[in-house]
Amino acid sequence: MVIGAKKVCTFAALLLLISGCASQPDTSNQCGIVSTFSEPNREANIYRVVVTHLDGKPVISQPNYRLSPGSHTFIVAELIDAPSLKVKLSARTPKELTVNVSHNQRYHIGAKFNVDKVYRGNDKAFWQPEVWQQESFECEYPEPL
């Protein structure tokens, strides 16, 4: 019986070793999209934004950002042109939005204009950035040549 138990232990150890060497699926080409190009629903008081920074680095605003899955931080400036907005130019400062990007998803981001009261002067609470739509969208990084 000792020999049988030894064989079982050796076999179990071999299985553990082999399973530890098993390759994980390659996720290096997976991505999601964060988008600013679609016209948001103005009836829902959502307006376009311009991206100024992505993950702490300055960027030239683009209509789409192809990103690896995970958390990404955007600094965005609102483009609210509502006649009811009465704040000073100095109140119109960029804000931060973090998007948790998943593979094969597209996130449309914009500026939600808060219409719960009349915002005047230096009141910066008149808007907040948000994901206003999420949808399935096939996304893969191209294979390297």
State yes or no: pLDDT of 109 exceeds 50: yes
Task: Output b/e per residue, 74-99; b: 16+ Cβ within 10 A.
Answer: bbbbbebeeeebebeeebbebeebeb
- Domain membership flag for residue 18: no
Give CA–CA dist 126/96, Å, rounded: 14
Task: Output DSSP code: residue 24.
Answer: P
- Domain membership flag for residue 67: yes
Q: Which domain holds residue 110?
A: 26-136
Amino acid at 60: I
- Domain membership flag for residue 97: yes
- Domain membership flag for residue 17: no
For residue range 55-99, what is the model confidence (pLDDT) as tens digits?
Answer: 999 999 999 999 999 999 999 999 999 888 889 989 999 999 999
- Report the pLDDT averaged over residues 22-51: 86
Whole-prediction pTM value?
0.77
Q: In the chain, how many domains are there?
A: 1
Q: How many CA atoms lie within 13 A of 144 on its CB side?
A: 1
- Domain membership flag for residue 116: yes
Q: What is the mean pLDDT of the chain?
A: 85
Q: Which helix (H) or strand (E) holds 18?
A: helix 2-21
Given the structure tokens 């605003």, which residue do they identify?
61
